[in-house]
Structure 1
Amino acid sequence: MTTAPQTRQAPPAPAPALTQDGTSDEELAAALGTRPCDLPAVRSLLSGAAADPEDPPLRVRDLLHRRLRSGVCDDMIDPRALQSARPRPAEPPSAGLSAVPLPEPRPLPDITLAAAIEQRHSSTTFAARPMEFAVLAALLEQAAGIHGHRSGYNVRDFPVRRAPSAGGLAPIDLYVVANAVDGLEQGLYRYRPSAPDLVRVDSGNMRGKVTEAGIAADWMFHAPAVLFLAVDMPRVEWKYGVRSYRYVHVDLGVMTQNLYLVATALGLNTCAVAAFDDDAANDLLRLDGRDSFVSLMFACGLPGGR
C-alpha cells in the first residue's frame, strides 16, 4: 500500500522581538532609520542613558562617554585568557606590494627636550625645495620606530616602539604621501617599522587628492610630505573591547607630539590637520573606514614662505 508523499511544513517564522511598549524591532528600526540588526549596537549605546527629567538634553558625546566608561565596558579580555593570548599582527599585510628601504636617518641635532618644546609650533608654509629622504626617515624612525624587543604577550621578541601606546599594541599606522622628497618617487607609502621601509601603496602625484581630502587647507598642496595617521581598531579591540576607541585616540595624541618634537629638532615646519573629509582620506589610503580609518593628517617640509 502506498501513501501520498507528505509535504514538509516550513517551520513557523519567529515572532518579532518586541520592546516594552509592544513595538517590534522592525518598527523601531524603521523609526530610527536603521536596520533591525543594528539595534543591539543602538541599545548598547543607550544603555544607562536614563536621566533625571530636570537634566539637560543628552548630547551625542554624552552617549559615547557613558558607553565607554570602564564601569560599563564588560567586553575586555579576561585576565586568565590574557595569559595564553597572542596579539594581532602589529602591521597591515604587505604581500604583493613593493617596498623602498629607508636610507640611514639623518642624526638628530643636539637639542634639549626643553628647547624642542619651546620651539615647537605649527606652520602652513614650506620651502619650494624638496625634503631630503634621510630627514623623512629620521622623522619616521625617531617618532614611531622600533627601539628594541622584549618578551610580551607570549611572544619572545615583541617590538617596543618609540611612541608608547595602550598595552604596547601600537594601533597607529603612518602613511606618507611624498610630493617632493629627494630620492623618493612621488606616491603613497605606508611606513613599516619592522623593516624599516616604505611599502608602496600607490604611485604618482597625490597633491590634488590630498588637498581635496583636507577642508579649507589648500596650503597642503605645497607640502613636500603629508603623513596620514590611521587607526587599526582590531589591533587593540581583542584586549580592550569597546573602550579601545578611547585608547587609540590617546595613542594618536602621543604619536602626534612625538612627530612634532622630532620634526622641530630636524628643523622642519609642520602642521597637524584634523579637518578633513573622512571618506576621501580613507579612500585615498584604501582603508575600509570602519576597522581602519584616518584620524589625523600631518604636513611637513623645510621652512619657507609663499
Structure 2
Amino acid sequence: MTTGTTDITHITDVTDVTDVTDVTDKQLAHALGLRVCDLPALRGLAARVAVGADAPPLRPRDLLHRRLRAAVCDDMIDPRELQAARPRPAEPALPAGLPSVPLPEPEPLPSTSLADAIEQRHSSTVFAPGPLPLTTLAGLLESAAGIHDHRPGYNVRDFPVRRAPSAGGLSPVDVYVVANDVGGLDQGLYYYRPAGPELTVVDSGNMRGKVAEAGIAADWLFHAPAVLVLTLDMARVEWKYGIRSYRFAHVDLGVLTQNLYLVATALGLGCTAVAAFDDDTANELLRLDGRDTFVSLMFACGPPAGR
C-alpha cells in the first residue's frame, strides 16, 4: 500500500500493518477492527515475511504457516533449561469436590488385525436404538487414549505414557464424554481421567439438544449414544515448544482421532469425527475459555444401525 494520502479506512490486509508509517496505532487498530493492544500480535505474525514482488498476495494461512516454521520460532525452551523443567499439570483444573464414576474393566479388543481395522473403518452417523455398554465405552477410552506405562521424564519419576503418542509426550488433548445413552451411566457431561481410570462429572442431565445445537448441519448428533469432545490445553505444550506448539497440538489431535477410529472399528462401533461445530457454543458447553483451552473436535459413537 502507499502512505501519505492513503485512506486509512481502506486498510484491510494484515500485511499492511508493517507498511504504515504515517498513521497512529489508534487509527490503524480502528481501521482493522482491533484494539491497540492487539497490534503487537498482528505485527509479530507478519514479521520475517519476505515476499517477492511477483509473488501472489499473502493470505492469512500463509502468514500463519510461515510464523510456525521452526526457523522463525524463537520462543521454544532452551535445551539447558529443559534439564530442570517440569511439565504442566496433565489434567485440567476442575472444581474441587466433583463426583467421579470409576470405569469398569474395559471390554477387551477382539483379535482384529490392524489391516482389517483400517479396511473396515468408515464414518457412520446412524446408530442403533439402545444404550452403549459402559464396558465398551471404557474399552474405547482406555485403548485409544489411556495410560499404558509410567517412565522417568521431565524430572518426574513416574511420568505417564499415553497410548496415543504426542509431541514430547505432553498429551495436550483432553477427552470429555457427553453420555446420552450409556448403560449404567447417568446422562451428562464427564471428563475422562485416564489416571483413574474414571469419569468425573462436569454437568448432569440430558445434553442431547446442547450437543446438536453446537454441531453445524449435524442434527444426527442428537441420537448418538455418546459424543466424545476432544479439547486442547495449549499450556501443556507451549512452555516447551512456544508458538510452534499450536502446530504440534493439532498433529497430536489427529493421531488420537485415528486411534479412536481404529479402536471403535475393532469394537464394532459406529463412529464419526465432527469438525463442523460452533466454537463458542461448544466451549461454553464445556466451560472452557476458548483461548488457552478449546474444543477442537467431536467424535460420536455408538452401536451401529443394523448390528
TM-score by length of 2: 0.92
Residue in 1 that maps onto 2:85: 85
Name the residue aligned to 1:205. Answer: 206
Structure 1 residue 203 displacement after superposition: 0.3
Deviation at residue 24 of structure 1 after TM alignment: 2.1
Determine if the alignment matches structure 1 residue 175 to structure 2 residue 155: no
Alignment map for 1:225-264 (pairs within 5 Å): 225-264=226-265
Task: Give SS of 1:298's match.
Answer: strand
Give the partner amino acid of 1:83.
Q
Question: 1:301 is matched by which residue type in structure 2?
Answer: G
Structure 1 pair 130–65 and aligned structure 2 pair: CA distance change class (3 A): same
Give the superposition deviation at 1:27.
Answer: 2.0
Distance of 1:223 and 1:21 partners within structure 2: 55
Q: 1:25, 1:131 → 2: CA distance?
A: 56
Q: Give the CA deviation at 1:23.
A: 2.3
SS in 2 for 1:71: helix
- Cα RMSD over matched residues? 1.2
Identity of aligned residues (%): 73
Partner of 1:299: 300
Q: Deviations over 1:150-185 (max 9, x none)?
A: 000000000000000000000000000000000000
Secondary structure, aligned partner of 1:149: strand
**1:116 maps onto 2:122 in alignment:** no
Q: Report the equivalent of 1:192.
A: 193
| Structure 2 unpaired stretches of 5+ | 1-17
State the shift of 1:96 in Å.
2.1
**Range that drifts further, 22-31 or 119-128:** 22-31
Q: How far off its partner does 1:20 sit? A: 6.5
For residues 211 and 30 of structure 2, the distance between their equivalents in structure 1, rounded to whole angstroms, comes to 38
2:222 match = 221
Distance 1:50 1:84 in 2: 37
2:27 and 2:223 mapped to 1: Cα distance?
52
2: distance between equivalents of 1:221 and 1:33?
Answer: 37
Residue type of the alignment partner of 2:154: Y
3-state SS in 2 of match to 1:141: helix
* Alpha-carbon offset, residue 93 of structure 1: 2.1
4+ runs deviating over 3 angstroms: none
Whether the aligned pair in 2 keeps the contact of 1:19 and 1:25 (CA below 8 Å) is: no
Q: State the number of aligned residues.
A: 288
Aligned twin of 1:5: none
Instruction: Work out the CA distance in 2 between the residues paired with 1:93 and 1:206.
Output: 22
The secondary structure found in structure 2 opposite 1:117 is helix
Q: Secondary structure at the match of 2:277?
A: coil
The separation in 1 between residues aligned to 2:134 and 2:21, in whole angstroms, is: 64
**Gap regions ≥5 residues in structure 1:** 1-17
Q: Secondary structure at the match of 2:171?
A: coil
Residue identity opposite 1:97 in structure 2: L
In 2, Cα distance between the equivalents of 1:203 and 1:253? 29
Question: For residues 225 and 263 of structure 1, what CA distance do their matches in structure 2 show?
Answer: 12
